Structures are given as structure tokens and as C-alpha cells.
Amino acid sequence: MQTIQDKIGHFPRQLEDESIYILREVAAQFERPALLFSGGKDSITLVRLAQKAFFPGKIPFPLVHIDTGHNFPETIEFRDWLAKETGAELIVRYVQDSINQGKATEESGKYASRNVLQTVTLLDTIEEFKFDACIGGARRDEEKARAKERIFSVRDDFGQWDAKRQRPELFDMLNGRIAVGENVRVFPISNWTELDVWNYIKEEKMEIPSIYYSHQRQVIERDGMLWADSEYLNKEADEIPFEATVRFRTVGDMTCTAAVASDATDIDVIIEEILSAEISERGARIDDKRSEAAMEKRKQQGYF
Amino acid sequence: MDILRIATAGSVDDGKSTLIGRLLYETNSITKDKIEALESASKRKGLDFLDLSLLTDGLIAEREQGITIDVAHIYFSTPTRKYIIADTPGHVEYTRNMVTGASNAKVSLILVDARQGVVEQTARHLSIAAMLRIPKVIICVNKMDLVQYQESTFNAIKDSLAELVAQTTFDGQEISFLPISSLYGQNITVNASEMPWFKGNTLLGELEAFEYASTLAHAPARFPVQFVVRPMTEAYHDFRGYAGKISSGTFKVGDAIRVLPTGQESTIATIEKFDTKLSQAIAGDSVTITLTTDVDISRGNTLVLASEVQPPQLKDFSAQVCWLDHTALSPGKTYLLQHGINTTKAKISQITERLDVATQRATEGVSSLQLNEIGTIALRTAQPISADQYAANPANGAFILIDEFSNSTVGVGFVK
């Protein structure tokens, strides 16, 4: 029988070498870097790479989680476990606090989520700790605005991305020089694909939150997708929750990430599923569907 | 699994984005939801065919203007290898983005519109491919469907480029010509039924067959120290490791090394990759090296093998540059020069000549280099840099110039 490795080959280790190089440049070029940790597989991969980059030393920057309050409990549990396991410093800031302070307003309607709101909390956190570099797990294969972004992406003091002002980025030379108040978003796994990440998790035998694997869950069906039922989801009268066997392909908020029907209980089956899937990864992200330019517009506002 | 990096080039409207879209489409790299999104976007634009260029033109301004402004990175895999394509803009004003995209490429695809023939951008991009020393160039004569798939048109373009190709190419560079139609998928992944006269490989066939024998692993060994690892924990109390990515060559445990620029000598005790100890590591590996003796090494120092040719300590030297900023390069101005991970001040003493990319002729006595122009400069740095000639060791011979006030990357240089 054909194995997964026969089909997709081994993980290209060159990608790991390149990402580790980028993380070391961040630690050397910036005074106060931070790793933006969402609890998803991409940021978990970043933590793994940071462990390797500075071994046997500790990860020389904190993990920062912007907690929307709508996270899956499994993600929060995993986050706390990983911080303890790696000995990394963990900083958590809450979107709820931004709402209480009147800096952000809860959305309404059935598609309400806190995805856009977290930018407010993120920018406040950057200011609070004076972070000059924020490392994120975004990949260029996810979305077409991301496909255009540099590895060192300079943001102004409002966190805004200006596509027309991007610096040329040649060879592997990273220019992290910024003016006071500016900061840099760094994307070390820019050149990895979704499949690369899964192949890496497999080869490295990494732990990931349980919701990536098949489980029983109460869901509703909306727009042809399965949405996790929760107290945060604004349901309409005809949206009756039912139990289904599902897993999540990407992990964001409960209000903006759809589940897929799946029996995949191990990583090989997950990879098989991705190979045969007809929907792209971010196809399950409701936040991207708002318009064709949803991602670029959010980036202009300071989203990572 | 290995990775092949490709960059597209060519003038605006030559169909670069469509070519990539076609390549993705025919290798089943596009998921159903993306194809559906393409169908509805194509319809909104009033087109009766699938506009594959919409896959890569990701910025609002790009879709408005129907052109590519910045580099998009596109990924696909075959059972043979993983491909990373930098889809670069064709407009001359965005040449700097084209250079950005091409700098890491091993294959350059230069598109030529079969109806237009060779234009100035063709010459510029051939010139840039040579300057960057990209080992393989495939000149894709596109839109063959609009010239009735005539062999004579293809041959005429080939002939008109012969002189320029001979002028720009360097030893070891492979250049080939390919007649294609991106719109109808002729010679992309399957041989063109419409062009039986063409006996060569398809585009994908050429890419799959290309073997890039990295010369870097055999070049003299260079290891720029990025970060000094000092855990100062109980378990690793005396540990002092030098972390970095090997630029070129091979380092082995037991090798005698020299530290540049200080000249101190020592021996490699261990080469580590996370919790694994290796006996050797080669160009491209991110490792941590420990030495048998205590030497004073900090970020920016370079480790080389004591037994090999050492890079010169350059302070006054000449370099080819491509200017990337709207404010022209002017002699006498001070910039920051970043060579690998090392930064020092540099003063441009003179612009020796400017290259006319269309004719490959050099003009002397110029007073500035404008955006996207290529020339040769003389410069002096505050601290010496341990750089090799770019042609001899590309991994250790390039640098960028940074404006001290805007912090922007304004030029790229190649040590002569």
C-alpha cells in the first residue's frame, strides 16, 4: 500500500533551516520581540521552531495570546500546557477588556464575531509592552493578500500595512530597521504550505489541540458549513443544533471557524483528507468570506 | 524532498499570471472553492473564460488596474519536488519588486508576447537574470494562439534574441526557448497538439528535469554568526554555542577554524541541530557550533576553515548595483551596507558606469543612478566586510544598501 510519505515525500528540511534563520535574526535585530500565539497549528509550529533555534537556551521572547473570549476551551488548555512544557513566558490580553474600556464594540447579527475586534487589543498590547517585532504564523499559501507580504513586514504606529511601501527583500537579507513607534510583523513560515505544516507536525511527532482530530460535537448547518454550537454563536430560530462527527482544519474563534465532517483520528488520515479536499483551508474561515479583499483590508487596519 | 524556486519575468500583459494560473490548474493545485470563486469573479468582469490571473493578483489596486504590482508567492508540488514561484510584476516601474522575487530563484521564466516580439523588458530581465546569476532561463514565447502557432514567428524571436543572449549569459547558465499558449494550455504540462513542429519538452517537463547541482556546498566554507547561545542554566552552565546558517561550504567536527575579522583560531568541538549532534553540516544548514577553546566571538563574525582560501577583508571595492529607490543614488552619500547579517556604514565614492540594458553598452561619467538602473560603483566601508566576489561565491558576495533616514532598502549590490 502507498504510504503518506510515498504520496507527499518527506518534509523539505530546507524550510526548517530558513525559518530558524529568520527567528534568530528577530532575536538579534530587535529589542522586544514577541511571538503571537493563537493556539493553532501554525503558531504551535513556530514555538517548535523557536525551541530549536535557541536550544539549549530558552526561547528568548514571550508568547503573546490575544484571547477573544470565544476560543475553544481545548485551545486554551493546550496553550497553558505548551507554555509550561517549553518554559516560555506567556502573556495573555483579553478582547473583553477592550470592550469594557469602550475601545471596541461587539458586532451584532448572526455573523457577529470578535475577529476584527482583536486588532484593537493587539495594538494596545504592542504599545503596553513596547514590542518592536511580532512573530506570526501566517503563510503565503493561505490567502492572496498574504501571498504578497514580505517576511519582515513593516507596520506604522497604527499597525497598518501599506502594500505599496513594502521594502525590497533580497536573498535572505532581512532589514529590520524601523523608526520609533513602528513595528515589524515577522512571518517565519511564509513559504510553508498547509501540507508542509502537517507533514512537519507528523515527522516531529508534535502535540496539537484535540479539536484538530475527529470528535463528537453539537453543530448547526449554515451556508453549507458546520458551525460549532456555543453560547457565543447568534443562531436563528431554524438553526437547530445536532450532533455530528467533526474536526477542525483551522482553529480560530468558535464564531468564525467552521468544522468539517471527519473520522480522522490520526495525522495520516488528516493528511489524506487534505490531499483529497475540495475546499481550501481558509474556505472554512468565515472571516475571509466577507469580501474578496477582506484580508488586505484587515491588514491595513493592523491585523496580522 | 527538494525545493525549486522559480521567478517569472517579462513585460506587462505578456500573461505571466495567466501562465502560473494555468500551471496550477493543470497540476490540480487549485481547490474547488477557489475555482468557483474564479468563475464568479471572471463573470463579474464580463469574461467568458476563466481568468486565471485573478488567482495571483491579490491586491485591491492590482485587480482595479488589472496588473501585477508586487511579487506573489505561489506554491505547488509534484511527486518530484516542491515548487515556489515568485510571480513578479512586468511594469518597468516595479522592477525592484521583480528583482526581489528573482533574487532567490534558480529558474527564471521570461515571457515574450509572440505578437510583440522582443521588447526592452526582455533585455532588462535577461540582464537581471545574468546579474543575479540565475542558472537557468526559459524564454517562453507566449500567446502563440494569436499568431496561428507559426513556427516562423517563434524562430524569428529566437533569432532576434541570439545576440543579447550571447552578451549576457555566463558559464554554466542554461538558456532555452519554448513556444506556449497559457490561455489554451499549449506546451505547459502537455505537448501542444497545435504545434507539432516543436519537438522540445513542455514547461513542466523542463522544470521537472532541471537538476540544479548546488555549487555552494563545494565553495569555501563561510559561517556568519547570527546569535550566541548562552543558556547559563545548571545543565548547560558553560555552554557557549554560535548559531547561524552556513552560507557556503562544509564544516566538520575537528576542523580548524579562523574567526574573521579578528583572526583568532580554534577547532570545532560539536555541530548541533537542536538536540542532535552532527559530524558535519553543509551550505544552507541552520546549526549551532561549539569550539574547543574560549574565543571572543560575537554576532557578525564569520567562521571560515583555516585550511581554505579566506575571503578578503574589503574596505575599498567596486560592485555592480541595481538601484531600487525613487530617490536616486548619488556619489558622496553615506548609506548602511548590509552584507548577510552584518551592517556597516558605506560611502559611495564614485559611479564608474551605467549599463544600458537594451544594448548592454556601458556609459561612463554619470552622476546618478535612478530607480531600476544598473551600474558599477566604487565604495568604501567603515568596517571591512568578509565578502567574496559574487560570481565566485554568490552566497557571500551580495549586499543591500539601506537609507539611514528612511530605513528602507534602496539598492542591491554584487561584489566585483
* CATH number for the domain harbouring residue B259: 2.40.30.10
Specify whether B8 is located in the same domain as B106: yes
User: Over the stretch B70-116, which tens digit does the pLDDT of each residue have?
Assistant: 788 889 988 889 999 998 887 777 788 888 889 999 999 999 999 99
Looking at the structure, tell me whether residues A282 and A296 fall in a common domain.
no
Phi, psi of A202 (to 5 degrees): -65, -50
Is the domain of A67 the same as that of A160? yes
Tell me which residue in B56, B272, B412 faces A144 most closely, judged by beta carbons: B56
Domain holding B84, by residue range, is: 2-213
Q: What is the pLDDT of residues B26-81, one digit of tens each?
A: 988 887 777 888 888 888 888 877 787 777 666 666 666 666 677 888 899 888 89
More confident residue, B237 or B343: B343
Q: A5 exposed, middle or buried (CB, 10 Å; 0-12, 13-18, 19+)?
A: middle
Q: Cβ of B402 and A175 within 8 Å?
A: yes
Task: Kindly report the pTM of this predicted structure.
Answer: 0.94
Bridge partner list, A163: none
Question: Last residue of a domain, which of B273, B305, B337?
Answer: B305
pLDDT (tens digit per residue) in B192-216 = 889 999 999 999 999 999 987 667 8
**Domain identity same for A69 and A141:** yes
Residue A278's pLDDT is 61
Cβ atoms of residues B287 and B274 within 8 Å: no
The CATH number of whichever domain residue B37 belongs to comes to 3.40.50.300
B323 and B267 in a common domain:
no
- State whether A145 and A232 are in the same domain: no
**Are the Cβ atoms of A144 and B33 closer than 8 angstroms?**
no
Same domain, B76 and B101: yes
Question: What's the domain count of chain A?
Answer: 2
Provide CB contacts within 8 A for B240, sequence distance 6+.
B228, B229, B230, B290, B294
Nine-digit cell string for A236? 436563528
d(CA B346, CA B385): 11
Give the range of the structural domain holding residue A98, as residue numbers without chain letter.
4-200+292-300
Residue A140: its chain B contacts at CB < 8 A? Answer: 72-73, 75
Please list every residue in chain A whose beta carbon sits closer than 8 Å to the beta carbon of residue B71.
148
- The reply to whether B192 and B43 lie within a common domain is yes
- Cross-chain residue pair B231–A170, CB shorter than 8 Å: no
Q: Across the interface, which of A14, A24, A167 has its CB nearest the CB of B226?
A: A24
**Which 106-165 residues of chain B touch chain A by CB within 8 A?**
none
Partner residue opposite B407 with nearest CB, options A140, A141, A177? A177
Q: What ipTM does this complex have? A: 0.94
Asked whether residue A35 falls in the same domain as residue A178, the answer is yes
Shared domain for A40 and A165, answered yes or no, is yes
Q: Do A292 and B41 touch (CB under 8 A)?
A: yes
- Residue A231 is predicted with a pLDDT of 87
Distance of CA A283 to the CA centre of its chain: 15
Do A163 and B61 lie within an 8 Å CB cutoff? Answer: yes
Is the per-residue pLDDT at B191 higher than 80?
yes
Per-residue pLDDT tens over the stretch A58-67: 999 999 999 9
Do A160 and A239 share a domain, yes or no? Answer: no
Q: Compute CA distances B63 → A140, A292, B35, B51, B137, whole Å.
A: 18, 10, 17, 12, 29
Which of B5, B274, B321 best probes binding to A when mutated, by most A CB atoms within 10 angstroms?
Answer: B274
Whether A155 and A22 share a structural domain? yes
Backbone angles phi, psi at A231, to 5 degrees: -65, -15
Same domain, B321 and B246: no
Q: Consecutive sets of 10 residues in chain A, 304 residues long: mean pLDDT of each?
A: 78 96 98 96 97 96 95 94 95 94 88 86 94 95 84 87 86 95 95 94 96 94 88 89 92 85 91 76 58 64 64
Per-residue model confidence (pLDDT) at position A303 = 66
What does pLDDT average to over chain B?
91
Q: Which of A53, A175, A277 sits opposite B400 (nearest CB)?
A: A175
Q: Does the structure show a pLDDT above 70 at B9?
A: yes
Q: Residues A146, A298: contact at Cβ < 8 Å?
A: no
User: In this structure, are B57 and B163 located in the same domain?
Assistant: yes
Does residue A120 sit in the same domain as residue A214? no
Which element (helix H / strand E) includes B109? strand B107-113
How far is the alpha carbon of A276 from chain B, nearest alpha carbon, in Å? 9
Q: Which residues of A touch B242 (CB under 8 A)?
A: none
- The answer to whether residues A141 and B75 touch, using CB atoms and an 8 Å cutoff, is yes
Rounded Cα distance between B231 and A35, Å, is 20
User: In this complex, do A15 and B3 lie within 8 Å of one another by their Cβ atoms?
Assistant: yes
Q: Do the Cβ atoms of A296 and B79 come within 8 Å?
A: no
Cβ-based contacts of B59 with chain A (< 8 Å): 145, 148, 163, 296
Q: Is the pLDDT of residue B392 over 60?
A: yes
Q: Do B89 and B236 sit in the same domain of this protein? A: no
- Tell me the percentage of chain B whose pLDDT exceeds 90: 72
A125 and A40 belong to one structural domain: yes
Half-sphere exposure of B283 (CA within 13 A, CB side): 17
B163 and B283 inside one domain: no
For chain B, positions 337-396, list CB contacts with chain A under 8 A. 338, 340-341
Tell me, what's the pLDDT at B65? 67
pLDDT at residue A148, rounded to an integer: 85
Q: Does B166 touch chain A (CB under 8 A)?
A: no
Identity of the residue in B3, B79, B273 whose CB atom sits nearest the CB atom of A14: B3
For residues B58 and B200, membership in a common domain is answered with yes
B414: phi then psi, degrees, rounded to nearest 5: -130, 120
Residues of B in contact with A169 (CB under 8 A): 100, 409
Domain co-membership, B105 together with B252: no
> Where is the domain boundary, B275, B305, B335?
B305
pLDDT value, residue A114: 85
**pLDDT tens digit string along B279-288?**
999 999 999 9
Distance of alpha carbon A262 from alpha carbon A212, whole angstroms: 10
Within 259-278 of B, beta carbons closer than 8 Å to A belong to 272-275
Give yes or no for a contact between A137 and A40, defined as CB atoms under 8 angstroms apart: yes
Check residue A2 and give its pLDDT. 75
Q: Are residues A124 and A227 in the same domain?
A: no
Give yes or no: residues A11 and A53 share one domain: yes
pLDDT tens profile B108-149: 999 999 999 999 889 999 999 999 999 999 999 999 999 999
Domain count, chain B: 3
Whether B13 and B98 share a structural domain: yes
Residues, chain A: 304
Longest dimension (CA), chain B: 76
Domain boundary among B213, B228, B254: B213
Is residue B66 domain-shared with residue B88, that is, in the same domain? yes
Query: Measured between CB atoms, does B84 come within 8 Å of chain A?
Result: yes
H/E run at residue A121: helix A118-129
Q: Taking CB atoms and an 8 Å cutoff, what residues of chain A touch B79?
A: 7, 9
Which residues on A lie below 8 Å from B336 (Cβ)? 177
B391 phi/psi in degrees, rounded to 5:
-65, -35
Report how far apart, in Å, the C-alpha atoms of B409 and of each of A166, B8, B324, B327, B335 are: 9, 22, 8, 12, 10
Chain B residues whose CB is inside 8 A of the A59 CB are none
Give contacts of B 41-80 with A, CB under 8 A: 41, 55-61, 63, 69-75, 77, 79
For A21, the 3-state DSSP assignment is helix
Residue B237 has pLDDT above 70, yes or no: yes
